[in-house]
């Protein structure tokens, strides 16, 4: 069954006060994500991939089209606060900049306490909740001692991103939207972040959507790749198909320009 | 490697940042040769000493950076000159721009948005005592060679896109046909399409003989692999491995090189098959680097000797040098 269905999604931004200009950021795109599936939305800056993610996260409303999560239209069928809370529990985001995801005035674990409070069945006392937080930190390969009581500036970027994933272990969402989750961490810790997300998928059947400009990352992790250009999906399919036999001019150019490790680019 | 004439060499160079209370050993006992007609790629994580090394190569040594030990030679008219014995001012006056040119990291962002591109050429003519108009017509030609309309010389930098700016910078930097060109992370700020165009321009310059040898500094191994003849891997201020590019990609010797290559993520079937691994831990602080081999705390092959002795950089196969006890007699 499809966990998320996106149908004819369009977003038009209007600019200017006297003379209005319209920009079609997302133009009539459709795709779906199945249970336990990892897909990637690949495109350069301005291709509309983050706008798409924001609409799926229910942060900005679409101009037209539908987004069905677990069969429900997220923009029409979510009416009560309780229903919205439930949606936030089930759909989670991991953002690009782990530095901007934390409030510098509060300890890092605050973000985990917030996750605990969002749970449907919150732990009955503080001790139990703390156990849950510690457990989630261990899951993402962090010794709770290294994090608890610390402030954001005291831990590294890689650790911050891991704590964001620890939230996912507490909430166990059905869908994670990961917007460039590895672009601001060191190359040497990038692999670890990807592995953690893959483990979530293996153990919880979580569906994951990567939003990235890095076709190497998309090729490595995805079951399905969608290449976006100027608000439209221009190429879609299995990673081998998209990367090894691209058909659209743009994806051909993209694949042909990315430096490879085991082969030389043509025309240098 | 057809041509093994040495163009540049440095011997046992130690370049430290001497701060008030501490000393950062950014380049520690490094020896390196650069041959004529080659592209040499220097790779490593941030803080491994790549940029400091480039400053030593061009003798751009300013406080707090100090050349503590070692010698640096550049071949000029067939003779080696010891440029490390000269002052920065002397090297700058005699060799910069003409023999050796460095394009520092983010150079394109240093273009003043309100100064016309042609003004930079005029400054250059003035500081080298060349006729302004002669150099300007040369610049027009060079702009065409890097794929830019000479009209752009009359424009302001803010009118150029990132890829165009980077090409304009390289055109200006090489206008006096330097023998050795050093570029520091020139492609990091560009998208992949412009990266490829830039690499093409660079290789074109070498083919046309505008520059003889290129030092390409980057953290992106896949990019270096596209253009370099040899690769130098730096770790914590030291050279871990030097090797011809094909061989190092196919069979990395140093455990750090292996880790580095295994963390590369490019869209290739081989990568999907092998998976990616991470190097545990973080690079050391160069104020107080680990004893022995600086990589030993993160190395899964570490032996007792690695903690005590510093592994020398030794040639263990033809043209392949590695600083690791795994490949040396002393291991027993």
Residue B3 has a pLDDT of: 54
CB-CB: which of A44, A213, A216 is closest to B265?
A216
Query: Could you tell me if B273 lies within 8 Å of chain A, comparing CB atoms?
Result: no
- Compute the average pLDDT of residues B94-121: 92
CA dihedral B129, B134, B137, B142 (to 10 degrees): -50
Strands B100-103 and B79-82, by their bridges, are unpaired
- Compute the average pLDDT of residues B287-298: 95
Residue A100 has a pLDDT of: 80
Cα torsion B42, B44, B50, B53: sign? negative
Residue pLDDT, tens place only, B300-319: 999 999 999 999 999 999 99
Question: A61: pLDDT confidence band, cut at 50, 70 and 90?
Answer: very high
Instruction: Give one DSSP letter per residue of A205-261, joined into a string.
Output: --EEEEEES-HHHHHHH-SEEEEEETTEEEEEE-HHHHHHS--SHHHHHHHHHS--S
CA–CA separation, B296 and B291 (whole Å): 9
Residue A119 has a pLDDT of: 87
Which residues in chain A have their CB less than 8 angstroms from residue B282's CB? Answer: 156, 186, 188
Residue to mutate among B197, B248, B272, B278, with most A CBs inside 10 A, is B278
Question: A8: pLDDT confidence band, cut at 50, 70 and 90?
Answer: very high
- Per the prediction, chain B carries an average pLDDT of 93
| B287-293 long-range Cβ contacts below 8 angstroms, 24+ apart | B287/B22, B287/B23, B287/B24, B287/B25, B289/B25, B289/B28, B289/B236, B289/B237, B293/B323, B293/B324, B293/B325
Percent of chain B clearing pLDDT 90 (strictly above)? 85
Residue pLDDT, tens place only, A202-225: 999 999 999 998 899 999 999 999
Within 31-50 of A, beta carbons closer than 8 Å to B belong to: 44
Query: Could you tell me if B249 lies within 8 Å of chain A, comparing CB atoms?
Result: yes
Which residues in chain B have their CB less than 8 angstroms from residue A267's CB? Answer: 196, 200
Identify the H or E element spanning B72.
strand B65-76
Helix axes B117-128, B162-173, angle to 10 degrees: 20
B121 to B103, B127, B144, B176: CA distances (angstroms): 15, 10, 15, 11
- Compute the average pLDDT of residues B191-200: 92
CA–CA separation, A173 and A156 (whole Å): 25
Which residues in chain B have their CB less than 8 angstroms from residue A191's CB? Answer: 263, 276-278
- Compute the average pLDDT of residues B199-226: 95
Within 121-140 of A, beta carbons closer than 8 Å to B belong to: none
Q: Which of B121, B61, B66 is nearest to B97 (CA)?
A: B121
Q: Closest Cα of chain A to B121: distance in Å?
A: 28
CB contact under 8 A, B192 and A219: no
- Look up the pTM and report it: 0.87
Residues with Cβ within 8 Å of residue A197, at least 6 apart in sequence: A38, A94, A165, A176, A178, A181, A208, A221
Residue B43 has a pLDDT of: 95
Tokens of A228: 């976006």
- Compute the average pLDDT of residues A177-182: 89
CA–CA separation, B306 and B292 (whole Å): 5
Which residues in chain B have their CB less than 8 angstroms from residue A192's CB? Answer: 278
Burial class of residue A10 in the structure, from the number of CB atoms within 10 Å of its CB (0-12 exposed, 13-18 middle, 19+ buried) = middle
- Compute the average pLDDT of residues A232-253: 95
Q: Which residues pair with A34 in a beta bridge?
A: A2
Question: B332: pLDDT confidence band, cut at 50, 70 and 90?
Answer: very low
Percent of chain A clearing pLDDT 90 (strictly above)? 64
A261 to A161, B222, B265: CA distances (angstroms): 27, 5, 9
Q: Which residue has the higher pLDDT, B215 or A187?
A: B215
Q: Which domains does chain A have, with CATH numbers?
A: 2-257 (3.40.50.300)
Residues with Cβ within 8 Å of residue B167, at least 6 apart in sequence: B146, B147, B148, B197, B198, B201
Q: From the CB of residue B297, how many other CB atoms can be counted at a distance below 10 Å?
A: 16
Query: Could you tell me if B62 lies within 8 Å of chain A, comparing CB atoms?
Result: no
Fold of B6-114+156-331: Rossmann fold (3.40.50)
Residue A20 has a pLDDT of: 83
DSSP state, B211? -
Query: Could you tell me if A253 lies within 8 Å of chain B, comparing CB atoms?
Result: yes
Strands A72-73 and B238-244, by their bridges, are unpaired
List alpha helices for chain A, DSSP H: 49-56, 81-90, 110-118, 126-139, 144-147, 157-171, 187-204, 215-221, 239-244, 249-257
Q: Which residues pair with B233 in a beta bridge?
A: B43, B241
CA–CA separation, B169 and A252 (whole Å): 29
Which residues in chain B have their CB less than 8 angstroms from residue A263's CB? Answer: 268
Residue pLDDT, tens place only, B22-74: 999 999 999 999 999 999 999 998 889 999 999 999 999 999 999 999 999 99
Residue A189 has a pLDDT of: 74
Task: Please determine, for residue A139, whether its predicted confidence score (pLDDT) is greater than 90.
Answer: no
CB-CB: which of A239, A243, A259 is closest to B223?
A259
Task: Please determine, for residue B201, whether its predicted confidence score (pLDDT) is greater than 80.
Answer: yes
- Per the prediction, chain A carries an average pLDDT of 91
CB contact under 8 A, B200 and A268: yes
Query: Could you tell me if A219 lies within 8 Å of chain B, comparing CB atoms?
Result: yes
Which residues in chain B have their CB less than 8 angstroms from residue A213's CB? Answer: 191
Query: Could you tell me if B58 lies within 8 Å of chain A, comparing CB atoms?
Result: no
């Amino acid at each position: 069954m499809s966990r998320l269905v996106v149908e004819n999604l369009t977003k038009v931004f209007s600019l200017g006060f006297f003379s209005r200009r319209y920009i079609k950021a997302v133009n009539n795109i459709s795709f779906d994500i199945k249970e336990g599936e990892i897909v990637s939305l690949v495109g350069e800056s301005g291709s509309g991939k983050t706008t798409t993610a924001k609409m799926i996260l229910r942060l900005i409303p679409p101009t037209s089209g539908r987004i069905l999560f677990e069969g429900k239209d997220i923009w029409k069928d979510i009416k009560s606060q309780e229903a919205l809370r439930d949606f936030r529990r089930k759909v989670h985001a991991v953002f690009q900049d782990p530095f901007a995801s934390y409030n510098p005035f509060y300890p890092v674990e605050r973000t985990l306490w917030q996750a605990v409070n969002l749970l449907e069945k919150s732990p009955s006392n503080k001790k139990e909740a703390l156990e849950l937080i510690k457990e989630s930190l261990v899951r993402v390969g962090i010794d709770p001692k290294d994090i608890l009581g610390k402030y954001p500036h005291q831990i590294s970027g890689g650790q911050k991103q891991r704590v964001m994933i620890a939230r996912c272990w507490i909430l166990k969402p059905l869908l994670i939207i990961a917007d460039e989750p590895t672009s601001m961490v060191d190359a040497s810790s990038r692999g670890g972040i990807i592995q953690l997300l893959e483990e979530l998928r293996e153990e919880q059947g979580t569906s994951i959507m990567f939003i990235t400009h890095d076709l190497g990352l998309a090729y490595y992790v995805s079951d399905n790749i969608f290449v976006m250009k100027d608000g439209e999906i221009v190429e879609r399919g299995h990673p081998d198909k998209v990367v090894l036999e691209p058909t659209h001019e743009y994806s051909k150019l993209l694949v042909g320009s990315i430096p490879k490790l085991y082969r030389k680019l043509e025309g240098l | 490697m057809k041509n093994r004439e040495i163009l540049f060499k440095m011997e046992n160079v130690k370049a430290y940042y001497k701060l008030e209370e501490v000393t950062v050993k950014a380049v520690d006992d490094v020896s390196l040769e650069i041959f004529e007609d080659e592209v040499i790629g220097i790779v490593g994580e941030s803080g491994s000493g790549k940029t400091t090394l480039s400053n030593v190569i061009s003798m751009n040594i300013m406080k707090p950076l100090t050349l503590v030990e070692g010698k640096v030679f550049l071949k000029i008219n067939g003779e080696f000159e010891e440029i490390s014995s000269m002052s920065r001012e002397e090297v700058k006056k005699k060799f910069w721009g003409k023999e050796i040119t460095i394009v520092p990291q983010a150079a394109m962002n240093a273009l003043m948005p309100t100064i016309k591109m042609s003004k930079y050429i005029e400054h250059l003519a003035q500081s080298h005592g060349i006729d302004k108009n002669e150099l300007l017509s040369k610049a027009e030609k060079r702009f065409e060679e890097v794929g830019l309309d000479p009209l752009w010389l009359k424009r302001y930098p803010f009118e150029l896109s990132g890829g165009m700016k980077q090409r304009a910078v390289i055109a200006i930097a090489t206008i006096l046909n330097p023998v050795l060109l050093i570029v520091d992370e020139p492609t990091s700020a560009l998208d992949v399409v412009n990266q490829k165009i830039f690499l093409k321009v660079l290789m074109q310059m070498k083919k046309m003989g505008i520059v003889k040898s290129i030092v390409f500094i980057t953290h992106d191994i896949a990019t270096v692999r596209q253009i370099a003849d040899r690769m130098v891997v730096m770790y914590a201020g030291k050279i871990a491995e030097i090797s011809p590019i094909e061989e190092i990609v196919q069979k990395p010797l140093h455990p750090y090189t292996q880790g580095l290559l295994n963390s590369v993520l490019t869209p290739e079937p081989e990568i999907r098959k092998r998976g990616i691994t991470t190097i545990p831990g973080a690079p050391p602080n160069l104020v107080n680097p680990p004893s022995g081999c600086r990589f030993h705390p993160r190395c899964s092959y570490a032996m007792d000797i690695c903690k005590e002795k510093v592994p020398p950089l030794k040639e263990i196969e033809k043209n392949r040098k590695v600083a690791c006890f795994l490949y040396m007699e002393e291991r027993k």
